[in-house]
Structure formats: C-alpha cells, structure tokens
Amino acid sequence: MRITTWNINSVRLRAPLAVQLLEQVQPDALCLQETKCPDEHFPHQTFIDAGYPHIAIRGMKGYNGVAIISRLPFTSTDSLDWVGKQDCRHISATFSDGIELHNFYVPAGGDEPDTMKNEKFDHKLKFLEEMRDWFTANRKPDAPMVLVGDLNIAPLEHDVWSHKQLLKVVSHTPVEVERLAAVQNGLGWIDTARHVTPETEKLYTWWSYRARDWAAADKGRRLDHVWVTPPLGDKIKDSSVLRDARGWEKPSDHAPVTTQLG
DNA sequence: ATGGTCGGTTGCCGA
C-alpha cells in the first residue's frame, strides 16, 4: 500500500496539481489538508475521473478541511472533533485489509509560543494532548494504523534548516516537540520518514512562500508526517518527499510525502 | 530587527 499526504492549500485551486501528483506517484490513497472547501463544493468528479472514486471529506468555508482520496474502497469512515471545535481537522478511513488511516491537520499555533499571550498556541497544545488521549484510550498498539498529516511540528534538529534559530519559533519549540513525542510514544508510532532517512540528514516538507528563492535559500521545515503502528513497522519500504512539487506552477507551500508499505 | 507571500470569510485574517 502506498499513501501520500499533502497540504494542498485550496483543493479547488489546485485540483489539477493533485491529479498530476496522482499520475506521477500513483498512491493507493492521497490524504489532503487545508482543502478550504465546503463539502458541497468538493471537486469529486476530478478525482473519480483520475481513477480515485472513493472519497471521504470534511470541509468548511475558508479554513482547514481534510480529505482522503482513494483508489481502494473503504469499509468505514469517520471524522472526529477536537478541543470542542467543529473545525474539520481530522478524517479517518478503514480499508478491507483492516488498516485504519487517520488524516490530521494540527493547528499551526500562531506566532507567539506563549499560551498566556496566544490562544492559538494553547489550542495547538490542547489538540496534541487530545490526540494522545484519544489514541491511548481508544486504540491498541497492535492495531494496524497509519497516521498522516500536516502536524505543524518539525520535531528533530535536522527537521529544520537551523535548530538554534528556530528554538523559539512556533513549529520547533521544545514544548510542542514534547507534546508531539507524547502522541508518538502513546502507541509507539514509527516515523516512517526517519525510519528510511537518518536523523543526521536534513529533511523538509515545507518552504515559506515569503522566500525570494525558496530552493536556493532552502530554509525548510519537516511539518508533514507519515507514522505507522508497530505491526506495520517491518512493511515500511520507502518514504520520500516530492520536493519537485514545491517548484510547480502556483505551488502549495508544502510538498507531498509518500510512504510505501509492503 | 524587519518584512517578505499566499488563499479565501478579502481590503483583513490565518498561515
């Protein structure tokens, strides 16, 4: 099974790029974040025509929004609310082989890494706490699961262009990294990208729109992740970032990440 | 130290 995750930053604007991605990578399932699209306006037919007729969506006007677009049928789908908000940040689907796929868009958290001054940062930390609590309360480590998404945290030193310069920048602060580690340790999730690429090697999935030349500056962060539970650990065959996609015409600021299982 | 660019609930907010 091949799974791709991509923060598309508007599915209506970039549906043609998503089709290009499907043709190039040929995943079994594509998980999108920041679709920014109410369900009634989702471009279903574009994906059906591309050979991906199984679609689970949870979107709203203007903000957030997630989708799972699949070549394979689902046996069930679900969407959960987090931190008491109906803000379309999670969708899940189960496949006939029993694998349960969870797609998340974790809150970005604003600019100031101080919960007293910035309620968005508080929301982000609470969201991560609820993720840990939900999985530990409702699922066991021996369940075959995949967790993907824009987690908006670059946990490791070489997940950012400068560890030192980003220690106080939201996405790489110690408190967020610790909360994300708590989610990961809850069920013993395996970070598939770092299973394949050593921790000493720089690895990014996001580059700001604000850079004059994003590729030359290469001031990236690894915000997008694919995790699997222990039963799927020895099925990890590959993990790759499609950096080229960041250089496409009218790109998303995130690049797609693909993990090959089995 | 600051500002830089995107997308959509556009002349602002969130990222």
* Mean pLDDT of the residues in chain A: 98
A61 is near strand B: CB distance < 7 Å? yes
For chain A, give the percent of residues with pLDDT over 70. Answer: 100
Scanning the structure block, which residue is given the tokens 């999670």?
Answer: A90
Band of pLDDT at residue A222, cut at 50, 70 and 90: very high
Tell me the average pLDDT across A190-208. 98
Strand partners, A257: A5, A241
Secondary structure class of A149 (helix, strand, coil) = strand
* Whole-number distance in Å between A234 CA and B15 C1': 36
- Express each pLDDT in A155-173 by its tens digit: 999 999 999 999 999 999 9
pTM above 0.85, yes or no: yes
d(CA A131, CA A247): 33
* Whole-number distance in Å between A14 CA and B12 C1': 23
Q: What is the CATH number of domain A2-261?
A: 3.60.10.10
- The pLDDT value recorded for residue A131 is 98
- Express each pLDDT in A100-139 by its tens digit: 999 999 999 999 999 999 999 999 999 999 999 999 999 9
Contact positions of strand B to protein Cβ (< 7 A)? 4-9, 14-15
Contact A34, A150 (CB under 8 A): yes
φ/ψ (deg, to 5) at A239: -150, 130
Taken in order A43, A44, A48, A49, the sign of the CA dihedral is negative
Tell me the average pLDDT across A48-70. 98
Closest C-alpha to A185, from A136, A148, A149: A136
Band of pLDDT at residue A37, cut at 50, 70 and 90: very high
A249 is near strand B: CB distance < 7 Å? no
- Strands (E) in A86-160, as ranges, are 90-95, 100-105, 145-150
- The pLDDT value recorded for residue A45 is 98
Ramachandran region, residue A65 (left: φ > 0; alpha: ψ -120 to 50; beta: rest): left
Write the burial class of residue A195 (CB in 10 Å: 0-12 exposed, 13-18 middle, 19+ buried).
middle
Kindly report the length of chain A: 262
Tell me the average pLDDT across A193-215. 98
